[in-house]
Amino acid sequence: MTTPIKAQIETDEIALRDGAHFILRSVRTDDESRLRDMFARASLEDIHFRCFGAMHDFAADMARRLAHLDPTSEFALAASTPPDRQPEEIFGVAHLSQNPEAMDTAEFDIMVRSDFKQRGLGYRLMTELLQSARQRGLKAITGNILRDNYAMLQMAHELGFKTDFVDGDAVRVKVSLTENSPFAEAAPQAT
């Protein structure tokens, strides 16, 4: 049986390959301004990859949405600065939303601050998100990725996602979280 997707995960400190430290934690309602700051730094390319095109007032709309999730069907994980670094900033966020027609399946989306990409934070966020989903009894995670978002497609395939179908410029990927899936045995990488 699938339990509600939202969970207050324990705060966990991680270190990336380059020595950068972050706190992984659930997104909170008081994160709206920190999320807006993160999204305001998004490059046009990142907005295109995230929204599949332009979006009016991207930073405010995305921040509001993620800070006020439906606790019965959504969960978001943030990578923020450690408590000794003030003011607190968010450098990345990964989000799951359960499919109302198949509650054992959820769709992911993820974004890392544009000036902090290619350092392994997105990979670590996705690994944690997949582990959290599996612990809650979800059977599969899906996502839509633009065909020209090569870095995201590569990361998804490294994490065991397979191409489910292609529709125009979008690729739908899916990973099974069953006992026999490649991800089921994977340990989180500190990258």
Determine, yes or no, domain membership for 6: no
* pLDDT score, position 71: 85
Output the DSSP codes for the chain: -PPPS---PPPEEEE-TTS-EEEEEE--GGGHHHHHHHHHT--HHHHHHHHSS--TTHHHHHHHHHHT--TTTEEEEEEE--TTSSS--EEEEEEEEEETTEEEEEEEEEEE-GGG-SSSHHHHHHHHHHHHHHHTT--EEEEEEETT-HHHHHHHHHTT-EEEEEETTEEEEEEE-STTSGGGGPPPP--
**Parent domain of 167:** 12-185
Number of domains into which the chain is organized: 1
Q: What is the pLDDT of residues 121-158, one digit of tens each?
A: 999 999 999 988 888 889 999 999 999 999 999 999 99
Residue 83, Cβ density class (10 Å: 0-12 exposed, 13-18 middle, ≥19 buried): exposed
Q: Is residue 1 part of a domain?
A: no
- CATH classification at residue 58: 3.40.630.30
Model confidence, pTM: 0.84
Cβ(72)–Cβ(90) below 8 Å? no
Q: Specify if 3 maps to a domain.
A: no
- 7 within domain boundaries: no
Mean pLDDT is lowest, of 9-23, 69-83, 109-123, 155-169, for 9-23
Q: Each residue of 30-80: pLDDT tens digit?
A: 999 999 999 999 888 888 788 776 566 888 899 999 999 998 899 999 999
The answer to whether residue 45 is domain-embedded is: yes
Question: Could you give the dihedral angle defined by the CA atoms of residues 15, 21, 25 and 28, in that order, rounded to the nearest 10 degrees?
Answer: -160
